[in-house]
Amino acid sequence: MQDIPLEGSENTSGEVTKKVTGMYMDWFLDYASYVILERAVPAIEDGLKPVQRRILHSMKELDDGRYNKVANIVGHTMQYHPHGDMSISDAMVQVGQKDLLIDMQGNWGNILTGDRAAASRYIEARLSKFALDVVFNPKITDWQLSYDGRKKEPINLPIMFPLLLAQGAEGIAVGLSTKVLPHNFNELIDASIKHLKGKRFTIYPDFPTSGIADISNYNDGLRGGKVRVRAKISQKDKNSLVISEIPFSTTTTTLIDSILKANDKGKIKIKKIEDNTASEVEILVHLPSNVSPDKTIDALYAFTNCEVSISPLGCVIEESNRPSFIGVSEMLRRSTDNTLRLLKLELEIQLRELQEQWHYASLERIFIENRIYRDIEEQETWPGVIEAIDVGLKPHTKHLKRAVTEDDITRLTEIRIKRISKFDIDKAQQKIDALEGDIAEKEHHLAHLVDYAVSYFERLKKTYGKGKERKTELRLFEDIEATKVVMRNTKLYVNKEEGFVGTSLRKDEYIADCADIDDVICFTKEGKLVVTKVDSKTFVGK
């Protein structure tokens, strides 16, 4: 067993205080760092946690256009993620339910009702067209070895879209947490375009559960901000209400439970509740004949989960592998700047590839059109062959963009006789002309990179933005005073002789109808003032 180094000091009473150092301190810091970096907090570059990134990478490796069993994807992901299959399948379901990166088949649960997804062996998935379009490009991806050194995995995926803000993120680590709220797909694209053009922009949350939100204190998603979200409640008739949208972070189950608890406590008065939720929310709240629907709506907001308060906290992992607290506007600016950088890298790679194609196509034409292949017929050694071709090419290569290498010449020797015999000079020139047009296009895009990025975002919006309109209505809320909307269905009594007030003193003097949130104000003959809450029996003084 390893010895634990201890530091000690003796005080005046003879007691010795021991301080644990070394191994325990290192282990705790290692654990804290691991949880922050590898599990709980997303990276600013691609907006993903490691498990999400590994799931998407595995799905790309398995991708053949057909659906795969989620259990199969989970097993494949375990090559990269050193944790249990349940943690991977749960993370995959959460990504799938955001309905952006994964095309789902089967029962993936319901974010409205809180119903869980079916077991991973019963549901299937494949990458969405959007994911295939914006998430992957191995040529501009930085790679690292997996945890066991057998495979390569991406350090970050080259995602050219503000994915973190579109999906949102939530996680609790050691000593810190993160809560980035989801935002609207189209509004994020519009904001990215404004940033590219040097214009100001503002973005606000948009929740998949719809609802109504007051974002007046959003604070750009930083610590100290708050978003109030309400259910959408309307009056169906004089004795019933219908809830058609619910607040983010709640489900129909938790919402109904909160209404029933408020009814049991006497804060609201309802007759019964019907839950008809399927693909859309529909909760019917039936009221007694003597209860005001308008007052009940306010009471539902005041005493149930029909209104919730959400505190955002924008914490991300930066390039230096350190957590950082930044606002959603800064997240979008960094994501857009990163997209611009990735688009530039992609264009530069495409340009180099086109230039190489043009270079070889030009060499091939020179080699065949000038019959240089005949110069090697009498050569008996490989160096002689290389030299003969090199000499034959030199008079015709002045217009090439780079020098001819031995690898170029070796590639020319691999051309088959059949291809030489069927070589068409006109078609070869058409191919070269087409390549020159493509090269000019890439060079133009690089010279006007911002315009190219704007066109890229506009294409994303046109291709994938349909059906992604804002769901959450933004509105300023008026504060509801709970004391004005609570149901006062309890009677308050006082025993002046003994100095007690309460709801259980039914044999004593009746004061008024009350609720358990009311204050009771008592004055004694000496002029003393006592304030207390309504309770079954409270001593306030004779």
How is the beta sheet containing 68-69 ordered, strand by strand?
A: 68-69, 124-127, 102-105
Cβ atoms of 361 and 434 within 8 Å: the answer is no
Catalytic residue among 31, 34, 122, 510: 122
Cα separation, 286 vs 300, in Å, equals 13
CA distance readout (Å), 222 to 170, 199, 274, 325: 14, 22, 38, 7
Nearest to 98 by CA among 245, 203, 208, 246: 208
Contacts 24+ apart (CB under 8 A), 493-497: 496/542, 497/542
Cα separation, 139 vs 61, in Å, equals 15
Cα separation, 307 vs 179, in Å, equals 19
How many Cα atoms within 13 Å fall on the side-chain side of residue 455? 7
Cα separation, 368 vs 425, in Å, equals 9
Tally Cβ neighbours within 10 Å of residue 411. 14
Task: Please indicate whether residue 493 is annotated as part of the active site.
Answer: no
Cβ atoms of 112 and 277 within 8 Å: the answer is yes
- In this structure, are strands 232-237 and 227-230 parallel, antiparallel, or unpaired? unpaired
Cβ atoms of 7 and 21 within 8 Å: the answer is yes
- 285's enclosing H/E stretch is strand 283-286
Cβ atoms of 77 and 120 within 8 Å: the answer is no
Q: Which amino acid, one-letter code, is at 176?
A: L
Q: Which amino acid, one-letter code, is at 478?
A: E
Beta bridge mates, 16: 10
- 284's enclosing H/E stretch is strand 283-286
How many Cα atoms within 13 Å fall on the side-chain side of residue 465? 16
Quick check: helix, strand or coil at residue 458? helix
Cα separation, 380 vs 378, in Å, equals 6
Cβ atoms of 323 and 316 within 8 Å: the answer is yes
Cβ atoms of 112 and 246 within 8 Å: the answer is yes
What positions carry a catalytic annotation? 122
